[in-house]
Amino acid sequence: MMRLKRLEHNHRLPQRLLLALITLVSRERAPDVLRTLLYRPEFFGTPMSAAIHHALRGPSPWTIGERELFAAFVSRQNQCHF
């Protein structure tokens, strides 16, 4: 698996503190998707979070539960563990 070194060490202080808290509470490394969303949030994290929220919570003929299940299935198929 390839990881960007920048996502390991170059977060701003508030994001570093949040990642440290998540690691402390969960006793696991924060997921890569979260590290990506927290790195330069104004550039990628905020717009991507809004798109994800719209897809999972916006108007749809499918229930929220169905959409969450679709997302979990796709993540599993992509071997993305979060």
Instruction: For Cα atoms 38, 72, 76, give the angle at the middle one, nearest 5 degrees.
Output: 95
pLDDT at 47: 94
What pLDDT score was predicted for residue 10? 87
Q: What is the pLDDT of residue 14?
A: 94
End-to-end CA distance of the chain: 15
Full-prediction pTM beyond 0.85? Answer: no
Tens digit of each residue's pLDDT, the chain (82 residues): 667 777 778 899 999 999 999 999 999 998 888 898 999 899 989 999 999 999 999 999 999 999 999 999 998 998 876 5
- Cα dihedral: 27, 8, 18, 65 (round 10): -70
